[in-house]
C-alpha cells in the first residue's frame, strides 16, 4: 500500500448465512424448537482487490443485489468481511446519505445538533455554524418545526446543509445528493458541494445514476452478483454495464418475460 493509497481491499469477500425457515406462529416455534434451522450461504462479494487513491472520485455501479451496499459497509467497518479478507483505510471516514440519522419526532434544530456531532463537529462548532446551516437550507422559519412535518425537499436541503460541514478525509456516499432541491437551490448546492465536499477529498460513491458517474468519477467499478466485472475509466465501465443490461433484456424477451 503506497503513500497515495487511502483505501485498499485485498481478496475481500462477504458471505451471508440466510435462514430459510420462518416460524410465524407460537405453535410453529414450539414444534420446530428442537429442529435445526437450515440456512444457505449467499456470496454477496467475491474476491475484490482494489486500491483507491487520495483525492480520487471512485464510483461503484451495478444492479440491485450486485453487492454495492455490502462493499460500502465493509469499507466503513459496519460489516465484517470473510476470513482471509483484508481492508485497510487511511484517514477519517464518514458515510453520507440523504436523510442521514434524522429523527422525525425532533425539530430541525435538534437534528442539526445530533447530526453535526455524528459528522465530527463539537457542540461549540455546531452552535457557531447553526445560523449558517439554517440560512443555507432556507429553513429560517422552520428550525423549530418537527422534521416529520417537513417536505422531502426540506429534508434534502437540511441534510445537504449539515453535510457541508462534515469533517473527514474520505466520504462514502450512498447515492449522490449534490444539487438537491428546486432549480435555484440546485444550482447553489452544486457549486458549494463541489467546493466543500468533493475538491481535495476522496469520494467513494455507490449509485444507479450513470450521468453522475460520467460527470464526476475518475474511475469506476462494475459489480455483478458480487463479482468485479470491470474496473477502469467511467466511459468503459458504463459501456459494459449498458451492454450487460441490453443482453439481459434481450434474453428476457426471448423467454417471453416482461421487462
For 228-245, the pLDDT digits (tens) are: 999 999 999 999 999 999
Between 164 and 7, the more confident residue is: 7
Confidence of residue 163 (pLDDT cuts 50, 70, 90): confident
Query: 103-204, what's its fold?
Result: Rossmann fold (3.40.50)
Residues sharing a CB contact under 8 Å with residue 232, sequence separation 6 or more, in sequence order: 219, 220
Between 256 and 131, the more confident residue is: 131
Q: What is the DSSP string of 152-191?
A: HHHHHHHHHHHHTT---SEEEEES--SS-SSHHHHHHHHH
CATH homologous superfamily of 5-19+41-92+209-254: P-loop containing nucleotide triphosphate hydrolases (3.40.50.300)
Confidence of residue 61 (pLDDT cuts 50, 70, 90): very high
User: 155 near 147, Cβ under 8 Å?
Assistant: yes
Nearest to 228 by CA among 3, 51, 7, 40: 51
Q: How many CA atoms lie within 13 A of 104 on its CB side?
A: 6
Q: Residue 149's pLDDT is what?
A: 96
pLDDT(45) > 60: yes
pTM score: 0.81
Q: In the chain, where does the domain assigned CATH 3.40.50.300 lie?
A: 5-19+41-92+209-254, 103-204
Q: Residue 18's pLDDT is what?
A: 80
Amino acid at each position: 500500500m503506497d503513500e497515495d493509497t487511502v483505501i485498499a481491499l485485498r481478496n475481500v469477500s462477504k458471505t451471508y448465512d440466510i435462514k430459510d425457515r420462518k416460524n410465524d406462529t407460537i405453535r410453529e416455534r414450539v414444534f420446530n424448537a428442537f429442529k435445526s434451522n437450515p440456512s444457505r450461504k449467499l456470496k454477496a462479494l467475491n474476491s475484490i482487490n482494489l486500491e483507491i487513491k487520495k483525492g480520487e472520485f471512485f464510483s461503484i455501479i451495478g444492479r440491485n443485489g450486485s453487492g454495492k451496499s455490502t462493499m460500502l459497509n465493509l469499507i466503513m467497518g459496519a460489516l465484517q468481511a470473510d476470513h482471509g479478507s483484508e481492508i485497510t483505510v487511511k484517514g477519517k471516514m464518514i458515510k453520507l446519505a440523504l436523510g442521514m440519522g434524522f429523527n422525525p419526532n425532533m425539530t430541525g434544530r435538534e437534528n442539526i445538533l445530533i447530526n453535526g456531532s455524528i459528522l465530527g463537529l463539537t457542540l461549540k462548532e455546531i452552535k457557531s455554524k447553526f445560523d449558517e446551516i439554517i440560512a443555507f437550507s432556507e429553513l429560517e422559519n422552520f428550525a423549530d418545526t418537527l422534521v416529520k412535518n417537513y417536505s422531502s425537499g426540506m429534508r434534502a436541503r437540511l441534510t445537504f446543509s449539515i453535510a457541508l460541514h462534515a469533517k473527514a478525509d474520505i466520504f462514502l456516499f450512498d447515492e449522490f445528493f449534490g444539487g438537491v432541491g428546486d432549480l435555484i437551490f440546485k444550482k447553489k448546492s452544486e457549486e458549494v458541494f463541489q467546493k466543500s465536499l468533493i475538491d481535495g477529498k476522496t469520494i467513494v460513491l455507490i449509485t444507479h445514476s450513470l450521468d453522475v458517474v460520467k460527470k464526476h468519477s475518475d474511475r469506476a467499478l462494475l459489480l455483478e452478483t458480487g463479482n468485479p466485472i470491470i474496473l477502469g475509466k467511467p466511459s468503459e465501465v458504463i459501456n459494459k454495464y449498458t451492454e450487460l443490461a441490453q443482453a439481459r433484456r434481450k434474453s428476457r424477451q426471448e423467454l417471453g418475460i416482461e421487462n
